[in-house]
Amino acid sequence: MFIVVKYGDNKQQLFNPKCLAQALLANIRERCGCSEDDVLDLSDEDGNIKRISKRLDEDPEIVFRDRESLILVKEIKMISSEGAEERLYMPLLDQLEDDDSFISEFPGIGDL
């Protein structure tokens, strides 16, 4: 089993998800050149966040399909006008910055 992670300027990398989510995210962070401070996750091509960053001690393989194409996303924490913490997700695939149909799938991302 493997997954394809898309990121940056139309780049993609293959990953083996048969490990703990923490190890998978560390490998993605290293190979995709992300900062240690970034909270990363993955989205399918319909904008559904996989939320593997919330399951660090679990096997993320159960949330993926074999050969699934995923988009690397960064979690952004914001405080709403009511004072509540909100989590928004920004795709880290450059070609999606202007794709309104994809961006609209991410809750609240259009408000950034």
> At 43, is the pLDDT very low, low, confident or very high (cuts 50, 70, 90)?
very high
Quote the percentage of the chain above a pLDDT of 90.
55
Domains of the chain, residue spans: 3-105
The dihedral built from the CA positions of residue 108, 17, 33 and 97, taken in this order, carries a sign that is negative
| pTM passes above 0.85 | no
Q: What is the pLDDT of residues 75-108, one digit of tens each?
A: 998 888 888 888 889 999 987 655 555 555 555 4
Residues contacting residue 60 through CB under 8 Å, at least 6 positions apart: 17, 19, 20, 21, 24, 50, 52
Q: What is the pLDDT of residues 1-19, one digit of tens each?
A: 999 999 999 999 999 999 9
CA distances from 103 to 16, 33, 35, 40, 56 (A): 27, 23, 23, 17, 26
C-alpha–C-alpha distance, residues 8 and 33, integer Å: 9
Assign domain 3-105 to a CATH class: alpha beta
